[in-house]
Amino acid sequence: MVAVEACLRRRALLAHAATLSCLLPIGVPPARVGASEPASTQLVTDATFGYRLSLPQSWEAKPKPLRTHLHEVLYAAPGAGGLKVGLTVDPVKIQSLEQFGTPEQVAERIVAVEQSRDGVKTVALRQVSSERGPPSFYTVEYLTESSRGTTVFRCKYCVTPRGLYVLQAQAKADAFDHSDGAVRRTIGGIVSSFEVLE
């Protein structure tokens, strides 16, 4: 079951990257986790690909059985709550997100890719935002209902000369939308902490 879920997550990340880029499969060393963050968070940095993001201290790196991107890392919260974040980097021909389309156009393409996936019943776009750069970022939040359950995804996209960066955070919808807002704040904090350094 875990292998199937990993394959499906890989397929989703690949679909996002394929929507925005041409991929070249090359292996690279994993990201490093730094100690310069407060005790409750860990700073994940990668000098080769020039990014950083903050994660809760309790989150752990997870192995990827099959690598399909130039660079990819996966982290998950302990337990079976379904909180995960993955980051991929792939080469692209475009020089900016704006060359691919507006945030709304990109979001429409992402929703279309998600709707075409096996087992997906519905996809609902929930939020789209952008940050002007350089580099620019698009953030897209959507909900999928599938044979594997109902999940909220909050993804942040960026293009630099190094490639297309896709940060995908996910949580089960009932946890994300819970009235206490804890999971929503955690996912929001991770996504907003993601920076690509030029």
Give the per-residue pLDDT at 170.
97
Write the DSSP symbol of residue 136: P
> Each residue of 94-147: pLDDT tens digit?
999 999 999 999 999 999 999 999 999 999 999 999 999 889 999 999 999 999
Q: What are the C-alpha distances in Å from 106 to residues 85, 88, 125, 129, 137?
A: 20, 17, 11, 11, 11
Q: For 61-81, what is the mean pLDDT?
A: 89
Please count the other Cβ atoms lying within 10 Å of the Cβ belonging to residue 30: 14
Q: Cα–Cα distances in Å, from 18 out to 44, 88, 92, 166?
A: 25, 12, 10, 11
Q: Residue 28 above 50 pLDDT?
A: no
Share of the chain above pLDDT 90, in %: 73
Where does the pLDDT of residue 39 fall: very low under 50, low under 70, confident under 90, or very high at 90 and above?
low
pTM score of the predicted model: 0.80
State the average pLDDT over residues 20-44. Answer: 48
Confidence of residue 23 (pLDDT cuts 50, 70, 90): very low
In angstroms, the CA 22 to CA 73 distance is 19
